[in-house]
A and B are shown apart, each in its own frame.
Chain A
Amino acid sequence: MEPVLSVKGLGKSYVRNRFSGARTLGDGHANLFSRRKDGGGKETFWALRDISFDVMPGEVLGILGSNGAGKSTLLKILSRITAPTTGEAILRGRVGSLLEVGTGFHEELTGRENIYLNGTILGMTRSEITQKLDEIVDFSGVAPFLDTPVKRYSSGMVTRLAFAVAANLEPEILIVDEVLAVGDVAFQKKCLGKMKDVTSEGRTVLFVSHNIGSVRQLCTRGLYLKQGELLLDSPDIDEAVFQYMHSGATELAAQWHSEPEPVSFDCFTPRAFYLADADGNVLDRPAFADEEIQVHLEYHEQAGSNVAAGFEVSDAVGNVIFWSYNSDDYRFAQTANLEERHEYTTLPVNCLNSGEYTLTLVAGIHGQRSLLPVRESTIKLRLEVEGNKQRATHLGQRRASIIAPILYWREAN
């Protein structure tokens, strides 16, 4: 089978004016009249560099990368909005693209007029559009406002209409950039469903979104771009997601070691504090909500001091999710009078929501005093929870709640 899209050595550079944004001759004349070879006052910036990949019909490509990685530039080139500086791309089939919000709508025209305008620009004939009109109107849900100028629409309505036109064009290649960010949850679901339909018909989708949940749910393959370069092209979307998530690691890590300088809090001297996967290996990647995540703690305690050590789990916005002490579980019988200890526990499976968490080490002696209060503790770990492998597909997105436990449901009789 022939690839529906072949990209070879694609690159795009911009010439940036140091006089930022030359808008009038006065600003730009230095460049206009002094065409020096060294490009005085100019610098070349590569938004994309040597990108190559092939896409087969029916593939759903998720393009990942942080802001400025070149995702939108890539989609713009493939939509022929702007030309590449190097390389080429061969597209076999009609391309429907939805770049950001409000694809080429005109404010003064009504919804209906805009559907025709947009449809023609996307390459449909008038009769094709008329055929599809009901479907488009139905999908977008703007039927009562079809003959109202688009300037009176809410931004959500504009997006819905734009998506409806692009998706119902039946393009061989559908390019979608970050449109789901605006719609409400119901519409996002509808869009995802539509994109699934599109792919099940053997069409190809290129999808950019910062919503990792929907990327993982929809895409069969992932590209990970970083600073204009294609770092990873993986047939496993999860791998690409991991790469992407991992790259954004902050100063907090998944492990903490006391070396080279041991720190001591009275009779409690932590040695190591780290996250591990089910096999006990350090977890230096995002975790799934339904996988076993271990929290290991190695410390030294003065014999007989009866230290209770544990951690606080808080989320990215500072909600304290829960605390846990090694003394919580009565079944856990610590070996008495051991000085060097290595203990671990397992975080509740299917409980944490997607997101970033901070684990803060705490210690104290129950009923007496705090050794390492949470406010003073700088021993912190970062845990990234991303999606859920086993969860029902419609739950691909983050729940609007602090935790997202999966409860066990069964028939009543």
Chain B
Amino acid sequence: MSTQVISAAKQMNLFFRLQEAWRFRNVLLTLAGREIKIRYKQAFLGLLWVLLQPLTTALVYAVIFGVFARFQAGEGVPYPVFALVGTLFWQLFARSLSAGSTSLVSNAGLLGKVYFPRVYLLLAPMLVAVFDFFLAFVVLIGGSFFIFGLPVSIGLLVIPFLALWTILFAFSLSLVLAPLNGLYRDVGLTIPLLTQLYMFATPVMYPPSIVPERFAWIVDGNPAATLMALSRWAVLGTDCPPVYAIALLLGIPLFFIAVGFRVFFRIENTIVDRI
């Protein structure tokens, strides 16, 4: 028989939280499964949407930037594939961030009825996003390798880690944004706007080479930009970002996670009263 202590006095320590998370592990899978089911329940095209979204976006970028503006993605790098890799990773990040940061509010009904580790509400949609990502990645990148006759490199093995790091970054930000959105709906309204601005600041649709030298530090200091550069390096063999940029990519999400958990754990037990 399990004993639970509900207490105002002591904050649950990390060990206890991990224990709880393990005990409720089924909930995460069920919640993620629920998201997938709901999404395809009434959508006629079903899984096809997962492919269409990045594909159309990348095609638009390829036409505007590759054909009209004649940006060079690199020696022997087809612009459509370059844009596709960026789009896939960006959409993974943007979807995770948007779903994660609004998850507490959109699941307020569930919050008020049953207990489980609240952090699973943030993680569940990200699992779905990463599931979709891999599906789209295999089909679309595989297809474009075939079409453009690109060489398959060993670097592709890094992709799963990059994808996980992408949702980790989104998760670290959501830890702060999700409770904040519960308190102030402005946060949820602002996130799409900020995400869009962030996309323009990140070389998603354009190559980093067009950024003037004196602004290069902005790109290098931006974890999302480093993720883009690393993913293109892995798929297309473009330039690898500098070491200090990679160090920042590793460090910044971890820092946000540390801060985010402190905020989240403080607020998760009573957030339901304030949503």
* Chain A interface residues toward B at CB < 8 A: 11, 14, 22-26, 28, 76-95, 97, 99-100, 102-104, 106, 108-109, 113, 116-118, 120-123, 125-126, 149, 172
Chain A residues whose C-beta falls within 8 Å of the C-beta of B9 in the assembled complex? 88
Please give me the 3 A-B residue pairs with the lowest Cβ-Cβ distance, nearest first.
Answer: A83-B269, A80-B115, A88-B7
B273 with A82: CB separation less than 8 A: yes
Query: How distant is the Cα of A25 from the Cα of B8 in the complex, in angstroms?
Result: 28
Q: Is B162 an interface residue (CB 8 A)?
A: no
Q: Is the CB of A104 within 8 A of B110?
A: yes
Contact check, B8 vs A84: say whether CB atoms are below 8 A apart: yes
Question: Closest residue of chain A to B271, judged by CB?
Answer: A82
Asked if B200 is an interface residue, CB under 8 A from chain A, the answer is: no
Assuming the contacts A104-B114, A109-B34, asked whether A91 and B3 have C-beta atoms less than 8 A apart, the reply is yes
B192 at the interface (CB under 8 A from A): no
Contacts A/B (CB < 8 Å), 29 sampled:
A24-B185, A25-B184, A76-B112, A79-B114, A82-B269, A83-B8, A83-B269, A85-B8, A87-B7, A88-B5, A89-B7, A90-B3, A90-B6, A91-B3, A91-B5, A93-B3, A94-B1, A95-B4, A104-B109, A106-B34, A108-B42, A109-B41, A113-B37, A117-B30, A117-B31, A120-B27, A121-B114, A122-B114, A172-B1
Contact A89 B6 (CB under 8 A): yes
CB nearest to A166 among chain B residues: B114
By the criterion CB–CB under 8 Å, are B113 and A81 in contact? yes
Known contacts A82-B270, A94-B2; is A121 also within 8 Å of B27 by CB? yes
Interface 0/1 of B1-33, CB less than 8 Å to A: 111111111000000000000011011001100
Say yes or no for B213: interface residue by CB 8 A criterion.
no
* Given A81-B111, A88-B9, 9 extra CB contacts under 8 A: A14-B273, A24-B184, A24-B186, A82-B272, A82-B273, A88-B7, A93-B1, A104-B110, A120-B30
Chain A residues, Cβ within 8 Å of B112 = 76, 81, 99
Q: Do A90 and B186 have beta carbons less than 8 Å apart?
A: no
B residues with CB within 8 A of A: 1-9, 23-24, 26-27, 30-31, 34, 37-38, 41-42, 109-116, 183-186, 269-270, 272-273
**Residues from chain A with Cβ under 8 Å of B269 in the complex:** 82-83
Q: B113, A113: Cβ atoms under 8 Å?
A: no
Q: Are A121 and B116 in touch, CB under 8 angstroms?
A: yes
Q: Which residues of B contact A82 (CB under 8 A)?
A: 269-270, 272-273
Nearest to A88 among chain B residues (CB) is B7
CB distance from A79 to the nearest CB of B (A): 6
Instruction: Tell me how many residue pairs across A and B have CB atoms closer than 8 Å.
Output: 112
CA distance A28 to B183 in the complex (A): 9
Say yes or no: B5 contacts A90, CB within 8 Å: yes
Q: Is the CB of A91 within 8 A of B4?
A: yes
Bound complex: CA A139 to CA B157 (Å): 51
> In this complex, what residue of A is CB-closest to B12?
A83
B241 to chain A, nearest CB (A): 36
Write out the residue numbers on chain A whose beta carbons fall within 8 Å of the beta carbon of B4.
80, 90-91, 95
Instruction: Establish whether residues B114 and A89, one from each chain, have CB atoms under 8 Å apart when the complex forms.
Output: no
> What's the minimum C-beta distance from A304 to chain B, rounded to whole angstroms?
72
**Measured CA separation A299–B212 after assembly (Å):** 105
Q: A90-B4, A91-B4, A104-B113 are in contact. Are A25 and B38 (CB under 8 A)?
A: no
| Residues of chain B with a CB closer than 8 A to A80's CB | 4, 6, 115
Contacts of A120 in B (CB 8 A): 26-27, 30
Interface centre among B110, B115, B185, B269 (most CB of A within 10 A): B115
Chain B residue numbers with a CB within 8 Å of A106 are 34, 38
- A92 contacts across to B, CB distance below 8 A: 1-3
Contact indicator B113/A99 (Cβ below 8 Å)? yes
Which A residues are CB-close (under 8 A) to B38? 106, 108-109
The distance from the CB of B29 to the nearest CB of chain A, in whole angstroms, is 8
Find the B residue at minimum CB distance from A96. B114
By the criterion CB–CB under 8 Å, are B6 and A78 in contact?
yes
- Contact partner of B26 among A91, A108, A126, CB < 8 A? A126
| Cα separation A113 to B1 with both chains bound (whole Å) | 28
- Distance in angstroms between the alpha carbons of A362 and B164 in the assembled complex: 83
- Looking at A26, A92, A118, A123, which has the most chain B CB atoms within 10 Å of its CB? A123
Residue of B1, B8, B30 near A87 (CB, 8 A) is B8
**What residues on A are CB-neighbors of B2 within 8 Å?**
92-94
Q: Which residues of A contact B6 (CB under 8 A)?
A: 77-78, 80, 83-84, 88-91
Q: Kindly list chain A residues whose C-beta atoms are within 8 Å of the C-beta of B37.
A: 108-109, 113
A109 contacts across to B, CB distance below 8 A: 34, 37-38, 41
CB-defined contacts of A93 to chain B, threshold 8 Å: 1-3
Contacts known (A82-B272, A104-B110, A104-B114); A88 close to B185, Cβ less than 8 A = no
Please measure, in the bound complex, the distance between the C-alpha atom of A97 and the C-alpha atom of B42, giving whole angstroms.
31
| A377–B2 CA distance with the chains assembled, in angstroms | 63
Report which residue of A11, A81, A93, A116 has the largest number of chain B beta carbons within 10 angstroms of its beta carbon. A81
**Roughly how many angstroms separate A149 CA and B6 CA in the complex, as a whole number?**
35
Identify the closest chain A residue to B11 (Cβ).
A83
Contacts of B115 in A (CB 8 A): 79-81
When distances are taken between beta carbons in the complex, the residues of chain B under 8 Å from A113 are 34, 37
A24–B183 Cα gap in the complex (Å)?
8
The residue on A at minimum CB distance from B184 is A25
The answer on a CB contact under 8 Å between B272 and A81 is yes
Task: Give the distance in Å from the alpha carbon of A246 to the alpha carbon of B30 in the complex.
Answer: 48
In angstroms, Cα B185 to Cα A201, docked, is 47
Most A CB within 10 A of own CB, among B3, B4, B183, B269: B4
CA distance A116 to B30 in the complex (A): 8
Nearest CB on B from A68, distance (A): 15
Q: Please, how many angstroms separate the alpha-carbon atoms of A117 and B120 in the complex?
A: 14
Query: For residue B31, which residues in chain A have a CB less than 8 angstroms away from its CB?
Result: 117
Bound CA–CA A172/B111 (angstroms): 22
